[in-house]
Structure 1
Amino acid sequence: MPSVLVPLAQGCEELEAVTIIDLLRRAGIDVVTAGLDNRPVTASRGTLLIADTRLDDVLGRTFDMVVLPGGLPGADHLAADPRIIALLRSQHAAQRYIAAICAAPKVLAGAGLLDGRSATAYPGAVDPEAFPKVRLSDAPVVVDSLIVTSRGPGTAMDFALQLIELLLGRESRDQVERGLVRTL
């Protein structure tokens, strides 16, 4: 069973975080949520989220994918955390999946992981002048090799379903999507 780490920063976008966690778990993926600190996470709209564990407690584990929810100031907290940057670079060096949605692709851009790649993000989150090597798209979800990016809360379900497809295949994605009563 694939394993996915979802770091939860104070001020993350709750719709994105919960959608990612929920859909991946529906697919049978081992999802571990990890707070950057030991406090409950107050998301961007005031929703309280309780992480499964602390980031420090899982840094030694190997995950098939690391997924960053967006939101502000959550994405800024992720970008400012040297543990997150080291984790992303290690994940990239090991040729394992990295995914980010909404404002979180700027964390990947800041770490240099989007240089020469196509990506999408919340409008204005990744400044093309600051990151001229990133090929920005307005597509809802962009997959470029082992890096997956998405636009925002409205694309969270498509993003999570794409992650399921990458980890488990189209049949698993379709099964989860049918259970959501979405039009295929």
Structure 2
Amino acid sequence: MPRALILLAQGCEELEAVTVIDLLRRAAIEVVSAGLHAGPVTASRGTVLVPDSTLEAEQDQTFDLVVLPGGLPGARYLEEDQRVLTLLQRHAGAGHLVAAICAAPKVLAAAGLLDGRRATAYPGSVSAADYPRLTLVDEPVVVDGRIVTSRGPGTAMDFALCLIALLRGEACRQDVESALVRGH
């Protein structure tokens, strides 16, 4: 069974965090949500999330996928935490999937993982001037190698479904999406 780590920082975007956790679990992916510190995480709109674990407890584990929900100030806390940058670099260096949505692609850029890549992010959260080797595109979800980025809360479901397809295949993605009764 594939394993995914979802990092939860105070002030993360709850819609992105919960959507990814929920859909990955529907796809029979083992999901571990980990807070940067022990205890509940209060998300950007006041929803209180209770992580399964902590970054400290999980930082030496290996996951098939590491996901960073966006939101502010959550994405800034992720970017400022050297443990997060090290974990991302280790997983990306080993060829594992690394994904970020909304303002969190800036964390991938700060870790040096977006150099020479195409990516997307919440408008204004990542500057091409700050990261000249990054090609920013205006697409809901961008896959460049083993790096996946997405725009924001409105693209969270597409982001999660893309991650399912990458980890479990297109048939699994279609099964999960079908059960959601999404309108097109």
Same fold? TM cut 0.5: yes
Aligned-partner residue type, residue 154 of structure 1: G
* 1:15 Cα offset (Å): 0.3
CA distance in 1, matches of 2:107, 2:92: 13
Please report the TM-score for the alignment, with normalisation by the length of structure 2.
0.99
- Percent identical pairs in the alignment equals 64
Unaligned runs of 5+ residues in structure 1 are none
Matches within 5 A, 1:100-119: 100-119=100-119
Matches within 5 A, 1:88-167: 88-167=88-167
* 1:65 Cα offset (Å): 0.5
| 1:61 corresponding residue in structure 2 | 61
CA distance in 1, matches of 2:132, 2:124: 13
Q: Encode CA deviations 1:50-71: one digit per residue, 9 max, x unaligned.
A: 0001111111211000000000
* 1:111 Cα offset (Å): 1.1
* 1:24 Cα offset (Å): 0.3
Q: Secondary structure at the match of 1:124?
A: coil
| Residue 23 (structure 2) pairs with residue 12 (structure 1) | no
Give runs of ≥4 in structure 1 deviating > 4 Å. none
| 2:38 corresponding residue in structure 1 | 38
Aligned-partner residue type, residue 141 of structure 1: V
Aligned-partner residue type, residue 81 of structure 1: D
CA distance in 2, matches of 1:96, 1:122: 24
CA distance in 2, matches of 1:35, 1:164: 22
Q: Secondary structure at the match of 1:56?
A: helix
Q: Secondary structure at the match of 2:33?
A: strand
Q: Report the RMSD for the aligned CA atoms in angstroms.
A: 0.7
Aligned-partner residue type, residue 148 of structure 2: V
Aligned-partner residue type, residue 71 of structure 2: G
CA distance in 2, matches of 1:17, 1:164: 15
| 2:81 corresponding residue in structure 1 | 81
Aligned-partner residue type, residue 175 of structure 1: D
Aligned-partner residue type, residue 98 of structure 1: V
| Residue 174 (structure 2) pairs with residue 177 (structure 1) | no
Aligned-partner residue type, residue 130 of structure 2: A
CA distance in 2, matches of 1:105, 1:61: 22
Q: Secondary structure at the match of 2:61?
A: coil
CA distance in 2, matches of 1:82, 1:11: 18
